[in-house]
Structure 1
Amino acid sequence: MNIFNNKLLLATTVFLYVNLVFSQHKNIDTLQLVIPKDYLEAFTYKVEIAEYNAYFYNEVILASGSYKIRNKSQEADFIIENNLISGTVTTYENFKKGQHKEGDNFKTEYKLNKSLVTEYTMFADDKLFLKAYRKDNQIFGKEFHKTGEVQNESQLSVAPDKTYGLSITKSYDRDGKIYQINDEITETYTQFYPNGKKKSVMGKTETTYYDENEVITRKANFKVPPFYDDEFVNGRLHSRSYKNDENEEVKEFFKNGVLERKEITKIINGEQITFVYDKSGKLIDKYPYQIENQKILGTISGGKTVATAVENQAPLTEIAIEAEIISANFSGGNEAYRKFITDNFDTSATESDGLIKLELDLTIDADGTASLENKQQKIYSDKYLADEMNRVLKKSPKWNPATQNGIPVKSSVRFPVKINIQ
Structure 2
Amino acid sequence: MNKLKNKFLLAVALFLTTNIAFSQTKNVDTLQLVISKGLKVFIQKVEITEYNSYFYNEVKLNNGSYKINNKSQEADFIVENNLISGTVTTFENFKKGQHKEGDNFKTEYKLSKSLVTEYTVFADDKLFVKAYRKDNQIFVKEFYKTGEVENESQLSVAPDKTYGLSITKSYDKDGKIYQINDEITETITEFYENGNKKRVMGKTETIYYNKNEIITRKTNFKTKPFYDDEFVNGKLHSRSYKNDQNEEVKEYFKNERKEKKEITKIINGEKITFVYDKLGKLIDKYPYFIQDLKTSGIVPGQKAIVTAEQLPNPPSVATEKLTEPETIPANFAGGYKAYHQYIIDQFDTSVTETEGLVKFELDLTIDIDGTVSLENQNQKIYSDKYLSDEMKRVLKKSPKWNPATQNGIPVKSSVKFPLRINIQ
With the length of structure 2 as denominator, give the TM-score of the two structures. 0.84
1:253 partner letter: Y
Point out the more displaced range, 90-99 or 117-126: 90-99
Instruction: Confirm whether residue 266 of structure 1 aligns to residue 252 of structure 2.
Output: no
Point out the more displaced range, 273-282 or 408-417: 408-417
How has the CA–CA distance of structure 1 residues 380 and 147 changed in structure 2, closer, same or farther, with 3 Å as cutoff?
closer
Deviation at 1:71, TM superposition (A): 1.7
1:269 partner letter: N
Q: Partner of 1:50 in structure 2?
A: 49
Deviation at 1:23, TM superposition (A): 13
Q: Partner of 2:399 in structure 1?
A: 397
Q: Secondary structure at the match of 1:378?
A: coil
Asked if the contact 1:198/1:214 (under 8 Å) is kept, the reply is yes
Q: Number of aligned residue pairs: give it.
A: 395
Q: Partner of 1:94 in structure 2?
A: 93
Q: Partner of 1:388 in structure 2?
A: 390
Aligned match for 2:324, one of 321, 338, 352: 321
C-alpha separation between the residues in 1 aligned to 2:356 and 2:395? 22
The Cα offsets for residues 143-194 of structure 1, whole Å up to 9 and x where unpaired, read as: 0011110000011111112221111111111000111111111111111111
Asked if the contact 1:294/1:310 (under 8 Å) is kept, the reply is no
Asked if the contact 1:98/1:351 (under 8 Å) is kept, the reply is no
Deviation at 1:355, TM superposition (A): 4.4
Deviation at 1:201, TM superposition (A): 0.6
1:353-392 to 2 correspondences below 5 Å:
355-380=357-382, 386-392=388-394
C-alpha separation between the residues in 2 aligned to 1:62 and 1:194? 56
Deviation at 1:30, TM superposition (A): 1.4
Identity, in percent, stands at: 76
How has the CA–CA distance of structure 1 residues 125 and 172 changed in structure 2, closer, same or farther, with 3 Å as cutoff?
same
Instruction: Confirm whether residue 210 of structure 1 aligns to residue 209 of structure 2.
Output: yes
Asked if the contact 1:206/1:223 (under 8 Å) is kept, the reply is yes
The Cα offsets for residues 33-80 of structure 1, whole Å up to 9 and x where unpaired, read as: 1112x2212111110111122222221110111111122221111111
1:97-136 to 2 correspondences below 5 Å:
97=96, 99-101=98-100, 103-136=102-135
Q: Partner of 2:219 in structure 1?
A: 220
1:270-419 to 2 correspondences below 5 Å:
270-291=269-290, 313=308, 320-321=323-324, 323=326, 325-347=327-349, 355-380=357-382, 386-419=388-421
2:32 partner letter: Q
C-alpha separation between the residues in 2 aligned to 1:176 and 1:100? 27
How has the CA–CA distance of structure 1 residues 351 and 180 changed in structure 2, closer, same or farther, with 3 Å as cutoff?
farther
2:143 partner letter: F
1:92 partner letter: F
The Cα offsets for residues 264-313 of structure 1, whole Å up to 9 and x where unpaired, read as: 111111111111000011110000013388599xxxxxxxx978859785
Instruction: Confirm whether residue 72 of structure 1 aligns to residue 71 of structure 2.
Output: yes
Deviation at 1:364, TM superposition (A): 1.2
2:28 partner letter: I
How has the CA–CA distance of structure 1 residues 110 and 238 changed in structure 2, closer, same or farther, with 3 Å as cutoff?
same
How has the CA–CA distance of structure 1 residues 307 and 66 changed in structure 2, closer, same or farther, with 3 Å as cutoff?
closer
2:324 partner letter: I
Deviation at 1:406, TM superposition (A): 4.3
Q: Partner of 1:243 in structure 2?
A: 242
Q: Which runs of 5+ in 1 are unaligned?
A: 1-16, 297-304
Q: Secondary structure at the match of 1:120?
A: strand
2:272 partner letter: I
C-alpha separation between the residues in 1 aligned to 2:101 and 2:175? 19
Q: Partner of 1:8 in structure 2?
A: none
Asked if the contact 1:306/1:414 (under 8 Å) is kept, the reply is no
Q: Partner of 2:8 in structure 1?
A: none
1:146-165 to 2 correspondences below 5 Å:
146-165=145-164
Q: Which runs of 5+ in 2 are unaligned?
A: 1-16
1:413 partner letter: V
How has the CA–CA distance of structure 1 residues 86 and 322 changed in structure 2, closer, same or farther, with 3 Å as cutoff?
closer
Deviation at 1:356, TM superposition (A): 4.7
- Aligned-residue Cα RMSD (Å) equals 3.1
How has the CA–CA distance of structure 1 residues 361 and 294 changed in structure 2, closer, same or farther, with 3 Å as cutoff?
farther
Point out the more displaced range, 21-30 or 330-339: 21-30
1:199 partner letter: K
2:419 partner letter: V
Q: Secondary structure at the match of 1:118?
A: strand
Deviation at 1:139, TM superposition (A): 0.5
Q: Secondary structure at the match of 1:179?
A: strand
The Cα offsets for residues 85-138 of structure 1, whole Å up to 9 and x where unpaired, read as: 011111122122465448332211110011010000111111111100001111
